[in-house]
Amino acid sequence: MTILVTGGLGYIGSHTVTELLHNGFEVIIVDDLSNSERFILENIEKITGKKPIFYPFDLKRKELLTQLFDAHQIDGCINFAAFKAVGESQVKPLDYYENNLFSLINILQEFKSRNISNFIFSSSCTVYGQADEMPIDEHTPLKTPESSYGKTKQMGEEILKDFAQAYRKKVSLLRYFNPIGAHPTALLGELPIGIPNNLVPYVTQTASGIREKLNIWGNDYPTEDGTAVRDYIYVVDLARAHVAALKKLMAEQQDTVIDIYNLGTGKGSSVLEVVEAFETANDVKVPYQICERRAGDITIAYANADKAEKELGWKADTSLEEALRTTWEWQKYLESRTQ
């Protein structure tokens, strides 16, 4: 079986490619290298002993995508390619809508015209906004996300539901909570460009001295220690969920399938708990200061991931400390590369 993985050199994409190769799938990667680097391809080969076919182009280039589908027999797609910076999406909304939605539609057009099914979409728990009750399951009502980035995820889900219904296709919408960590080999991980927005890359860069202090955005939230709570899921666990979701779609007998899964650990951790876990796991200090809340942040979000466990036989079982240990190993690897 040959799977097209768009954004396959990115953070979650590269881990998923590795898991697909471990599970005997052939992989074709399309990635425009806008937020990734070529050495990741070599590292995937070092880990798996297999070299995926790689096309460096932008999925908005419809003619190149058509040529790719002409050249290969493709059995499914996992679509990671998207812009993902929440803050940037507020100042460049059109770029986000154009990039995230046009590229999605271009692939779906190929699926429609070639009678291909099995499509997995990277969605986000941002589609729930600040949910009224915890934990968040798949029946929790959706709210319009604040950011244009979040709206592209919600619109992507709607496009895929219509696509599955109208053309009798199988799709799986995977709503990620907060992915963290790196591959146990320290050959794959997150590559933040510039100043990181997300918590764990910022913590890591602070521990290594690249940043002076972590800014904790608010300690007056109605949570136990006053800092905001999220569900941090280890990226390799998350990658494995994609393989499980793909296998389930492929085994489905019906023509039309719309699967939706929350992918999280089921456990919430506060910002301060993450900082402490990082310090304990790696025996390093993370200096921090408390600042004003960050605009657009919610108080708390953690998953009820029972549906994924029941239907996919999958569970995120790596501890926060272990995930944070791999992050630190990855940071050391990155620093050794630049020396």
**Where does this chain bind ligand UFG (CB under 6 A)?**
84, 86, 124-126, 150, 178, 197-199, 202, 214-217, 228, 230, 271, 294, 297, 301
Write out the H or E segment, with its range, that includes residue 291: strand 288-291
Q: Which is nearer to ligand UFG, 105 or 290 (CB)?
A: 290
Least distance in angstroms from the C-beta of 198 to ligand UFG: 3
- Closest by Cα among 266, 178, 272 to 225: 272
Report CA dihedral (25, 30, 35, 38) to the nearest 10 degrees: 80
Q: CB of 48: closest distance to ligand UFG in angstroms? A: 27
Distance between CA atoms of 15 and 29, rounded to whole angstroms? 12
Q: Which amino acid is at 166?
A: A
The residues annotated with a catalytic role in the active site are 149
Supply the minimum distance, in Å, between the C-beta of residue 10 and ligand UFG. 13
Give the CA angle between residues 164, 131, 306 to the nearest 5°: 60
Q: Return the number of the residue (8 or 218) whose C-beta is nearest ligand UFG.
A: 218
CB of 220 to ligand UFG, least distance (A): 12
How would you classify the pairing of strands 229-230 and 214-217?
unpaired
Cβ closer to ligand UFG: 28 or 81?
81
Supply the minimum distance, in Å, between the C-beta of residue 19 and ligand UFG.
21
Which is closer to ligand UFG, CB of 43 or CB of 318? 318
Q: Which residue's beta carbon is nearest to the bound ligand UFG?
A: 228
Rounded Cα distance between 291 and 214, Å, is 10
Nearest to 173 by CA among 119, 108, 128: 119
> Can you name the residues that pair with 173 across neighbouring β-strands?
121, 260
d(CA 252, CA 250): 6
How far apart are the C-alpha atoms of 215 and 149, rounded to whole Å?
Answer: 23
**Cβ atoms 185, 260 nearer than 8 A:** no
Comparing C-alpha atoms, which of 87, 126, 121, 123 is closest to residue 301? Answer: 126
